Structure 1
Amino acid sequence: MIETPHQQAAESGASALLLLAHGSIDPQSQESTRALAHAVGLSQACRVEVAYLRHARPRARQVLRTLAETGHDRVVVVPLLLTSAFHARVDLPRALTDPPALVPVVTPVLGSSPEVPDERLIAALRRRLTELDVEFDAVVVAAAGSSDSDACSSVTAMASALGANLGLPCLAGFASTASPTAAEAVAQLRLAGARRVVVASYCFAPGLLFRRAADASTEAGAVGISEPLGDAPELVGLILERYREACDVQTGAGVSTEVL
């Protein structure tokens, strides 16, 4: 359980918030997710828990069982996913199939749609780039990658929005599956005349796949790789908005596993 000052207030019939992450075998990924959960808990009087779809424990059913046993009757699941790709369409519903005793409300994934990139995610990416403390004249937004064209389009839209926000050339790059890779996008910007390209890590937490993409981008000439979004205040605000919207839906309307 994530310890917060509001832990006791979350018991006995109140709502709880479950952050459901993809998961990684990298221990730093789990540490980053727990830090995000702690930051959310500091800002909201509810119990905040973490579960994972793959590679790490606990899983969602286990956490939901614990919450039901400790007297919670309402749970909001916020998926820590940036696109509506395979993990959102398949892994997420599977993880919440036949929940034990407690049926949650599941919010949309946190990533932006292809048409309307979320301003808070843009601000969080910009915050992490600022923390690099290096000068740059072009950016690659590096995401996980997917065979889902809509998922890739949402990353491309985020790159365009971040570029417009910064007033700089900005391309999408992917860690796997889709093209171009982050390293290829770095090389493309350098061929177009950029001299100091940085990579904006469009992910919630570090992982082995992103480390490989970061290493390849550095070899391609990137002068800096930003930290993952982690516990950025803008991300905390977005999660809390999703949680409160879901609580409003739950009030007087029961609970549902149907995605809002």
Structure 2
Amino acid sequence: MTAPAASHRPADPGFPTPIVLVAHGSRDPRAAAATRALVRAVEAAVGPGAVVRASYLDHTLPRPAQVLTALEAAGERRAVLVPLLLTEAFHGRVDIPGAVAAARADGLRMPVAVSDVLGPRIGGTVDGLLLAALRRRLAATGEKFDAVVLAAAGTRDAAARRTVAQAAGELGATLGVPCRAAYASAAPPTAGEAVAALRAGGARRVAVAAYFLAPGLLYEAAMASARDAGAVATAAPLEGAAELARLVLSRVATIDPLAASPRAA
């Protein structure tokens, strides 16, 4: 495996711990552009000396193992890996640990700590920064609404879907309107079905919040379904939300990278 180039710097604990963002990856180039934009936002939030790298589980290079190997070769002593995922489904529970295991198999020795996903853990709480980002994207549509659909990509994992429903409930509570979860794939209801159900229940102006980190085919399918069902507004993905950079750093802050060991990943 060929590791991407990385510049050397002193392996000094005084430098910020390198952060490796791990996105799912997509054939749509807009997804990688959204991840790179988040990298820049996190770098700006950390300040001088920040080392923040993007990596991808599929479709796009570099892979997490490549980035971790390059960081170690550049003299870094540790790293924190942050999954850019909104649910703890298969990718969070299996693919992310597998990516670190792949790096270990290629000879990685430095400690790597893995943070929680950006969405709520199963049985956990929804971060206020995530809710703030969703509200701001809805406000940016400029439309008034009396009900909301929280449209997500979708997963067959029932426990992960419950966290989406939890996010929908908390978003609705902060907005003071009914809010239903919906999915672009893998599980019902579709965004259009959720819009129709809210309208059948008396809502007149239903808006759609996007539980997506980047644009792509699933995002577009969900929004088209909602518009066809009469949604008055569809929000943009969270890709450039300032709250996401702060959320990444809050996830990193929960980890003591100096205490991390190979077993921590």
When the two structures are superposed, what TM-score results if normalisation uses the length of structure 1? 0.90
**Correspondence for 1:186:** 195
The change in CA–CA distance for 1:11 and 1:131 in structure 2 (over 3 A counts) is farther
1:255 lines up with 2:261 in the alignment: yes
Q: 1:257 to 1:195 in 2, by over 3 A?
A: farther
Moved more, 197-206 or 110-119: 110-119
Q: Which residue of 1 aligns with 2:9?
A: 11
Residues 150-202 of structure 1, C-alpha deviations (whole Å, 9 max, x = no match): 10000001111111100111100011111111111011111112121111001
Looking at structure 2, the residues matched to 151 and 18 of structure 1 have their Cα atoms a distance apart, in angstroms, of 23
Deviations 1:50-76 (A, max 9, x none): 001112111111111211121111110
Which amino acid is 2:264 matched to? E
Is the counterpart of residue 117 in structure 1 residue 112 in structure 2? no
Is the deviation greater in 106-115 or in 160-169?
106-115
Distance 2:137 2:29 in 1: 21
- Checking the alignment, whether the CA contact within 8 Å between 1:199 and 1:226 is kept in structure 2 is yes
1:105 aligns with 2:113: yes
Q: Give the corresponding residue for 1:151.
A: 160
Equivalent in the alignment of 2:94: 90
Counterpart Cα distance in 2 of 1:39 and 1:68: 23
Residues in 2 aligned to 1:210 and 1:175: alpha-carbon distance in whole angstroms: 7
8 Å CA contact 2:147, 2:198 repeated in 1? yes
Single out whichever of 58-67 and 227-236 deviates more from structure 2.
227-236
Q: Distance in 2 between matches of 1:148 and 1:257?
A: 26
The answer on whether the counterparts of 2:150 and 2:208 sit within 8 Å (CA) in structure 1 is: yes
Tell me: CA distance 1:184–1:162, structure 2 relative to 1, closer, same or farther (3 Å).
same
Q: Which runs of 5+ in 1 are unaligned?
A: 1-6
Q: Percent of aligned pairs with the same residue? A: 45
Q: Are 1:76 and 2:83 counterparts?
A: no
Match of 1:39 in 2: 41
State the partner residue of 1:245. Answer: 254
**Aligned counterparts of 2:184 and 2:264: Cα–Cα separation in 1:** 31
For residues 66 and 191 of structure 1, what CA distance do their matches in structure 2 show? 55
Give RMSD over aligned pairs.
1.8
Code of the aligned partner of 1:83 = T
What SS class does the counterpart of residue 238 from structure 2 fall into? coil
Q: Cα gap change, 1:31/1:257 in structure 2, threshold over 3 Å: closer, same or farther? A: farther
Query: Which of 128, 141, 145 is the matching residue for 2:137?
Result: 128
Distance 1:148 1:72 in 2: 36
In structure 2, C-alpha distance between the alignment counterparts of 1:158 and 1:240, rounded to whole Å: 20
Which residue number corresponds to residue 57 of structure 1? Answer: 61
Please tell me whether the aligned partners of residues 139 and 199 of structure 1 are also in contact (alpha carbons under 8 angstroms). Answer: yes
Note the alpha carbon deviations across 1:132-156, whole angstroms, 9 max, x for none: 1111111000111111111000000
CA distance in 1, matches of 2:80, 2:42: 13
1:213 aligns with 2:219: no
The alpha carbon displacement at 1:254 in A equals 4.3
How far, CA to CA, are the matches of 1:105 and 1:250 in structure 2?
A: 6
CA contact (8 A) 1:18 1:50 kept: yes
CA distance in 1, matches of 2:169, 2:39: 29
Count of matched residue pairs: 249
Check 1:33–1:27 CA distance in 2 against 1; reply closer, same or farther (3 A cut).
same
1:10-43 residue CA offsets vs partner (Å, 9 max, x unmatched): 9322421000011111111111111111001001
